[in-house]
Structure 1
Amino acid sequence: MSALIQRLRALVPSREQLAANPWLRGLAPYLADPKLWHWSRRGVAMGVAIGLFIGFLIPLAQILLAAAVAVFLRANVAVAAAGTLVTNPLTVPPIYYAAYHLGAWATGASPTAAISLADPTSIGANLGAIGIPLFAGLAIAASFAAVASYLLISQVWIWRVSTKRRSARP
């Protein structure tokens, strides 16, 4: 388990990398706070939740928004920034396709079968028809992913700490 955590820490951007980002210069004074970089149960769980929520819901400037929200909510900034990587060029098409169908089901709209997600002109021409179900589906998925990840990480963290404490006792 510790090897997995070490690999995850290696993937997370450092304080220096984020501070050097020209988009994050306005947050530089706030990014110096060591509490925003500490690996604590609440900070990591909140960071992942923020990253997933923004990663699903906001298509642009995700890392900047995740860092700003993490500073505001006192979560781990690096984990929040890394959490936005859930959406990338490989995952966006299936996520948006599933979110559209989820949103169509939630809003009661009929899914438009004629829209080909592989054809950008079809999507652009039918944006009005797919916009509300897509946004509703993304909002539902973002909320669910954020809450579920926060609860799961918190519970796994508590379980891991209690297991370590039990094994450390003589």
Structure 2
Amino acid sequence: MLKKFIKRYLPDPSKIKQQKALLVFGTLLHDPNLWHLNRRSASGAFGLGLFFAFWPVPFQMWLAAAVAIPLRVNLPLSVATVWITNPFTMPPIFYGAYLVGVKVLGSPERKFAFELSWQWVVESVETIGPAFLVGCAICSVFFGLVGYFSLNTIWRWSTVKAWRMRIQKRANKKS
């Protein structure tokens, strides 16, 4: 079942609660609904994590945690899903978001080479920034919704499949 698969890879809630970075949230982390894993909390957390994964900010995990708490979705899953954009996947994902922004805004695609300097950042915000940010916003909403509805559908399908298998086992035992 999907729940067992997800639980296998999620960290223990007690270990997460001990993280110094999460002490900002205080007693809010003691809400048991943040740690339950059911269809609603898992699909909400997955969609939320994908939503924040496309934000070009360095504190995506904090944002996902801060929004997961009032929405009462699974906190570890929402924070873990943000890591879809990691240092290895970030360049192609953000370049794809930039291309989406270029298409939507109808602006010409600009060639650029990454440099590790403040001057490059300032120049890039002026030239490729608008298309990049629009593309990130569109991808954020799109993939967040697709992730939510996809996991919701997969969870429902796996539950129905498990129920059918139980019914079939019971029928085989009776005969």
Counterpart position of 2:94: 96
Q: Taking every aligned residue pair, what percent have the same amino acid on both sides? A: 29
Counterpart position of 1:116: 113
| Structure 1 residue runs without a partner (length 5+) | none
Counterpart position of 1:56: 54
Is contact 1:51–1:66 with CA below 8 Å preserved after alignment? yes
TM-score under structure 1 length normalisation: 0.89
TM-superposed deviation, 1:5: 4.5
Q: Which of 38, 41, 44 is residue 40 of structure 1 equivalent to?
A: 38
1:14-25 map, 5 Å: 14-25=12-23
* Amino acid of the structure 1 residue aligned with 2:89: T
Pair 1:65 & 2:101 matched: no
Counterpart position of 2:11: 13
* RMSD over aligned Cα atoms: 1.9
TM-superposed deviation, 1:166: 1.2
| Structure 2 residue runs without a partner (length 5+) | none
Is contact 1:116–1:123 with CA below 8 Å preserved after alignment? no
Pair 1:74 & 2:72 matched: yes
TM-superposed deviation, 1:31: 1.2
TM-superposed deviation, 1:120: 4.1
Aligned CA distance change for structure 1 residues 72 and 135 (closer, same or farther; 3 Å): same
Is contact 2:49–2:64 with CA below 8 Å preserved after alignment? yes
Aligned CA distance change for structure 1 residues 123 and 12 (closer, same or farther; 3 Å): farther
Larger Rg: 2
TM-score under structure 2 length normalisation: 0.86
Which whole-Å CA distance do the structure 1 matches of 2:9 and 2:87 have between them? Answer: 18
Deviations 1:78-137 (A, max 9, x none): 100101101111011101111111101111111113x124x4458523321111100111
Which sits farther off after the overlay, 8-17 or 59-68?
Answer: 8-17
Number of aligned positions between the proteins: 166
Which whole-Å CA distance do the structure 1 matches of 2:153 and 2:165 have between them? Answer: 18
